[in-house]
Amino acid sequence: MTIADKLTEFYKTIDKPGKLPKDVGLLFPFGDDSVLQAIESFYAKFFTDNRKRILLLGINPGRFGGGVTGIPFTDPEKLHSILGIDNNFERRYELSSTFIYEMINHLGGPESFYSRFLISSVCPLGFVKEGKNLNYYDEKELQDSLESYMVDNLRWHFDQVADNEVIFSLGQGKNVKYLEYLNKKYKLFGEVIPLPHPRWILQYRRKRKDEFLDLYQQKLEK
Protein backbone atom coordinates (compact mmCIF):
# COMPACT_ATOMS: atom_id res chain seq x y z
CA MET A 1 0.00 0.00 0.00
CA THR A 2 1.16 3.52 -0.73
CA ILE A 3 1.10 6.37 1.77
CA ALA A 4 -2.00 7.62 -0.09
CA ASP A 5 -3.77 4.27 0.38
CA LYS A 6 -2.94 4.19 4.07
CA LEU A 7 -4.09 7.73 4.78
CA THR A 8 -7.29 7.35 2.78
CA GLU A 9 -8.13 4.15 4.64
CA PHE A 10 -7.29 5.80 7.96
CA TYR A 11 -9.85 8.53 7.45
CA LYS A 12 -12.47 6.22 5.95
CA THR A 13 -12.35 4.02 9.05
CA ILE A 14 -11.52 6.57 11.73
CA ASP A 15 -13.24 6.01 15.07
CA LYS A 16 -14.92 8.68 17.12
CA PRO A 17 -13.53 9.26 20.62
CA GLY A 18 -15.49 8.13 23.64
CA LYS A 19 -17.89 10.23 25.65
CA LEU A 20 -17.12 13.95 25.52
CA PRO A 21 -17.66 16.47 28.30
CA LYS A 22 -21.05 18.16 28.47
CA ASP A 23 -21.72 20.86 25.85
CA VAL A 24 -18.71 19.84 23.70
CA GLY A 25 -19.63 19.02 20.11
CA LEU A 26 -17.62 16.85 17.73
CA LEU A 27 -16.58 17.84 14.20
CA PHE A 28 -16.81 14.60 12.23
CA PRO A 29 -16.88 15.24 8.47
CA PHE A 30 -15.83 11.71 7.52
CA GLY A 31 -19.36 10.34 7.22
CA ASP A 32 -19.88 12.51 4.14
CA ASP A 33 -19.15 10.95 0.73
CA SER A 34 -17.99 14.33 -0.62
CA VAL A 35 -15.39 14.55 2.13
CA LEU A 36 -14.14 11.01 1.51
CA GLN A 37 -13.84 11.77 -2.22
CA ALA A 38 -11.86 14.94 -1.49
CA ILE A 39 -9.55 13.02 0.84
CA GLU A 40 -8.97 10.27 -1.72
CA SER A 41 -8.24 12.83 -4.46
CA PHE A 42 -5.87 14.82 -2.25
CA TYR A 43 -3.74 11.93 -1.06
CA ALA A 44 -3.73 10.26 -4.48
CA LYS A 45 -2.40 13.50 -5.96
CA PHE A 46 0.54 13.95 -3.61
CA PHE A 47 1.28 10.73 -1.70
CA THR A 48 1.36 7.81 -4.16
CA ASP A 49 4.67 6.43 -2.91
CA ASN A 50 6.02 4.68 0.17
CA ARG A 51 8.29 7.39 1.55
CA LYS A 52 7.53 8.41 5.11
CA ARG A 53 7.05 12.14 5.61
CA ILE A 54 8.15 14.61 8.25
CA LEU A 55 5.10 15.40 10.37
CA LEU A 56 3.73 18.84 11.16
CA LEU A 57 1.14 18.62 13.92
CA GLY A 58 -1.54 21.19 14.54
CA ILE A 59 -3.98 21.14 17.45
CA ASN A 60 -7.24 19.80 16.01
CA PRO A 61 -9.30 20.67 12.91
CA GLY A 62 -11.43 23.81 12.86
CA ARG A 63 -14.95 24.30 11.62
CA PHE A 64 -13.94 26.24 8.47
CA GLY A 65 -10.94 24.15 7.37
CA GLY A 66 -10.20 20.51 8.05
CA GLY A 67 -13.49 20.19 9.89
CA VAL A 68 -15.20 20.77 6.53
CA THR A 69 -12.89 19.19 3.94
CA GLY A 70 -11.39 16.43 6.10
CA ILE A 71 -7.92 17.54 4.97
CA PRO A 72 -5.78 19.17 7.69
CA PHE A 73 -5.32 22.95 7.34
CA THR A 74 -7.10 22.94 3.99
CA ASP A 75 -10.25 25.00 3.56
CA PRO A 76 -12.65 24.52 0.61
CA GLU A 77 -11.25 27.52 -1.27
CA LYS A 78 -7.63 26.31 -1.14
CA LEU A 79 -8.74 22.81 -2.05
CA HIS A 80 -10.17 24.21 -5.28
CA SER A 81 -7.95 27.14 -6.23
CA ILE A 82 -4.52 25.91 -5.15
CA LEU A 83 -4.76 22.11 -5.16
CA GLY A 84 -7.05 21.89 -8.19
CA ILE A 85 -9.49 19.51 -6.52
CA ASP A 86 -13.09 20.32 -7.41
CA ASN A 87 -15.56 20.15 -4.55
CA ASN A 88 -19.07 21.22 -3.67
CA PHE A 89 -18.26 22.56 -0.21
CA GLU A 90 -19.31 26.08 0.66
CA ARG A 91 -16.41 28.35 -0.33
CA ARG A 92 -15.17 29.21 3.14
CA TYR A 93 -11.80 30.64 4.09
CA GLU A 94 -9.76 29.81 7.18
CA LEU A 95 -6.90 31.99 8.43
CA SER A 96 -4.74 28.99 9.32
CA SER A 97 -5.24 27.48 5.88
CA THR A 98 -4.40 30.79 4.22
CA PHE A 99 -1.02 30.99 5.94
CA ILE A 100 -0.25 27.30 5.44
CA TYR A 101 -0.71 27.53 1.68
CA GLU A 102 1.30 30.74 1.46
CA MET A 103 4.02 28.88 3.34
CA ILE A 104 3.71 25.85 1.03
CA ASN A 105 4.09 28.10 -2.01
CA HIS A 106 7.05 29.81 -0.30
CA LEU A 107 8.71 26.40 -0.05
CA GLY A 108 8.21 25.51 -3.69
CA GLY A 109 4.54 24.60 -4.05
CA PRO A 110 2.30 21.68 -3.06
CA GLU A 111 4.06 18.95 -5.05
CA SER A 112 7.46 19.79 -3.57
CA PHE A 113 6.14 20.35 -0.06
CA TYR A 114 3.97 17.26 0.21
CA SER A 115 6.75 15.07 -1.19
CA ARG A 116 8.60 15.75 2.07
CA PHE A 117 6.01 16.76 4.66
CA LEU A 118 2.65 15.61 6.01
CA ILE A 119 0.35 17.92 7.95
CA SER A 120 -1.92 16.44 10.60
CA SER A 121 -3.09 17.26 14.12
CA VAL A 122 -2.52 15.92 17.62
CA CYS A 123 -6.23 15.13 17.60
CA PRO A 124 -7.55 14.24 14.11
CA LEU A 125 -11.07 15.40 14.99
CA GLY A 126 -12.18 18.88 15.98
CA PHE A 127 -14.50 20.24 18.64
CA VAL A 128 -16.92 23.10 19.09
CA LYS A 129 -18.56 24.70 22.07
CA GLU A 130 -21.16 27.47 21.94
CA GLY A 131 -20.63 27.71 18.18
CA LYS A 132 -16.88 28.30 18.39
CA ASN A 133 -13.82 26.14 17.79
CA LEU A 134 -12.55 24.37 20.89
CA ASN A 135 -8.97 23.16 21.27
CA TYR A 136 -8.38 19.79 22.92
CA TYR A 137 -6.40 21.53 25.68
CA ASP A 138 -8.97 24.25 26.40
CA GLU A 139 -10.72 22.03 28.93
CA LYS A 140 -8.77 19.66 31.17
CA GLU A 141 -11.61 17.15 31.21
CA LEU A 142 -11.61 17.02 27.40
CA GLN A 143 -7.84 16.70 27.20
CA ASP A 144 -7.74 13.89 29.73
CA SER A 145 -10.59 12.01 28.06
CA LEU A 146 -8.78 12.17 24.71
CA GLU A 147 -5.28 11.16 25.82
CA SER A 148 -5.35 7.50 24.76
CA TYR A 149 -7.21 8.43 21.56
CA MET A 150 -4.55 10.98 20.61
CA VAL A 151 -1.69 8.64 21.50
CA ASP A 152 -3.19 5.95 19.27
CA ASN A 153 -3.47 8.53 16.48
CA LEU A 154 0.17 9.51 16.79
CA ARG A 155 1.39 5.93 17.02
CA TRP A 156 -0.48 5.03 13.86
CA HIS A 157 1.08 7.93 11.97
CA PHE A 158 4.60 7.06 13.08
CA ASP A 159 4.12 3.39 12.35
CA GLN A 160 2.57 3.86 8.91
CA VAL A 161 3.26 7.19 7.26
CA ALA A 162 5.57 9.50 9.21
CA ASP A 163 9.15 9.65 10.39
CA ASN A 164 9.43 10.00 14.17
CA GLU A 165 12.96 11.33 14.48
CA VAL A 166 11.87 14.99 14.32
CA ILE A 167 8.37 16.45 14.27
CA PHE A 168 7.07 20.03 14.20
CA SER A 169 4.40 21.53 16.42
CA LEU A 170 2.18 24.14 14.79
CA GLY A 171 1.89 26.16 17.95
CA GLN A 172 4.59 27.24 20.37
CA GLY A 173 2.51 27.18 23.54
CA LYS A 174 0.17 24.54 24.90
CA ASN A 175 0.35 22.28 21.84
CA VAL A 176 4.11 21.78 22.02
CA LYS A 177 3.99 21.44 25.80
CA TYR A 178 1.39 18.70 25.52
CA LEU A 179 3.42 16.91 22.85
CA GLU A 180 6.43 17.04 25.15
CA TYR A 181 4.30 15.60 27.96
CA LEU A 182 3.06 12.76 25.74
CA ASN A 183 6.56 12.01 24.52
CA LYS A 184 7.97 11.87 28.02
CA LYS A 185 5.22 9.45 29.01
CA TYR A 186 4.95 7.29 25.87
CA LYS A 187 8.31 7.72 24.02
CA LEU A 188 6.68 8.51 20.66
CA PHE A 189 9.31 10.53 18.80
CA GLY A 190 12.79 12.02 18.99
CA GLU A 191 12.52 15.81 18.99
CA VAL A 192 9.67 18.29 18.63
CA ILE A 193 10.42 21.69 17.11
CA PRO A 194 7.83 24.44 17.71
CA LEU A 195 6.62 26.80 15.01
CA PRO A 196 4.31 29.81 15.50
CA HIS A 197 0.69 28.85 14.90
CA PRO A 198 -0.58 29.95 11.45
CA ARG A 199 -3.73 31.57 12.82
CA TRP A 200 -1.75 33.51 15.44
CA ILE A 201 0.53 34.86 12.72
CA LEU A 202 -2.28 36.20 10.52
CA GLN A 203 -4.47 37.36 13.38
CA TYR A 204 -1.85 39.14 15.49
CA ARG A 205 1.36 39.49 13.45
CA ARG A 206 0.14 39.90 9.87
CA LYS A 207 2.54 42.78 9.13
CA ARG A 208 5.43 40.39 9.89
CA LYS A 209 4.05 37.57 7.76
CA ASP A 210 7.05 37.46 5.41
CA GLU A 211 9.35 37.11 8.40
CA PHE A 212 7.38 34.09 9.59
CA LEU A 213 7.35 32.56 6.11
CA ASP A 214 11.14 32.75 6.15
CA LEU A 215 11.21 31.26 9.66
CA TYR A 216 9.14 28.28 8.53
CA GLN A 217 11.41 27.80 5.53
CA GLN A 218 14.53 27.99 7.68
CA LYS A 219 13.31 25.46 10.23
CA LEU A 220 11.64 23.03 7.85
CA GLU A 221 14.45 22.91 5.32
CA LYS A 222 17.09 22.51 8.02
Q: What is the pLDDT of residues 158-191, one digit of tens each?
A: 999 999 999 999 999 999 999 999 999 999 999 9
Taking the C-alpha atoms of residue 9 and residue 32, their distance in angstroms, rounded to an integer, is 14
End-to-end CA distance of the chain: 29
The answer to whether 83 and 109 are in contact (CB under 8 A) is no
Residue 82: which residues within 8 A CB-CB, separation 6 or more?
101, 104, 105, 110
Query: Residue 222: which pLDDT band, with cuts at 50, 70 and 90?
Result: confident
Kindly write down the DSSP assignment for every residue of 100-114, as one continuous string: HHHHHHHTT-HHHHH
Judge whether residue 92 has pLDDT over 90.
no
| Average of per-residue pLDDT across 141-148 | 97
The answer to whether 89 and 41 are in contact (CB under 8 A) is no
pTM: 0.95
What radius of gyration do the chain's Cα atoms show? Answer: 16
Judge whether residue 91 has pLDDT over 90.
no
Q: Which residue blocks in 47-94 are alpha helix, DSSP H?
A: 66-69, 76-81
Q: What is the pLDDT of residues 45-76, one digit of tens each?
A: 999 999 999 999 999 999 999 999 999 999 99
The answer to whether 156 and 131 are in contact (CB under 8 A) is no
Percent of the chain's residues with pLDDT above 70:
100
Closest Cα to residue 144, out of 25, 21, 58?
21
94 C-beta neighbours (distance < 10 Å), count: 27
Query: Residue 123: which pLDDT band, with cuts at 50, 70 and 90?
Result: very high
